[in-house]
Amino acid sequence: MKKVIYSDEIKYFALGKRRDGLGWGEIRRAVKERFRVDPLPTIRAMQRWEQVLDYTELSESVAKNLDIKAQVSMSTGLIKTAETQLHNLWGTRLLGEQIEYEGWRYFLSLLENIWGSEKLRKYVGRYLSERDGQPDLSPSLLE
């Protein structure tokens, strides 16, 4: 029988569930639901992880892996966002419309997708009301 090597993330998850007081059978079902791996780790293998693995070291390893995945995902997202936005900006320019507005429209739509329309209105309104009575700022950074 071929030995299966499970990721640190699966091991961390299983040991975390054990610390929460779950039985080995419940842990196997939770691993199956969360990670959809085949074959599932055996109870004996998970018991060995519990005896051999340093929980702190495993936590650090998982955190490092997640950080690397997050950085790659963020970079990919930024590239896709930049490509989309550049396309929109050039299209706007070709149509003779204002590029600056298109940039702000895109930025505000991102915020609206994250916060929702109500919060966007609330925050923009709050910002503008806090600015009332203050001198206008010049767009010197954009020129």
- 119 and 75, same domain (yes or no): yes
- 75 and 124, same domain (yes or no): yes
Task: Phi first, then psi: give them for residue 83, nearest 5 degrees.
Answer: -60, -45
- 82 and 121, same domain (yes or no): yes
- 87 and 43, same domain (yes or no): no
Indicate left, alpha or beta for 36 from its phi (over 0: left) and psi (-120 to 50: alpha): left
In total, how many domains does the chain have?
2
pLDDT digits (tens, 9 = 90+) for 76-123: 666 676 667 667 667 766 776 677 777 778 788 888 888 889 999 999
Indicate left, alpha or beta for 120 from its phi (over 0: left) and psi (-120 to 50: alpha): alpha
Give the per-residue pLDDT at 140: 64
- 121 and 86, same domain (yes or no): yes
Chain centre distance of CA 34: 17
The answer as to whether 60 is a domain residue is: no
The answer as to whether 136 is a domain residue is: no
pTM across the whole model: 0.41
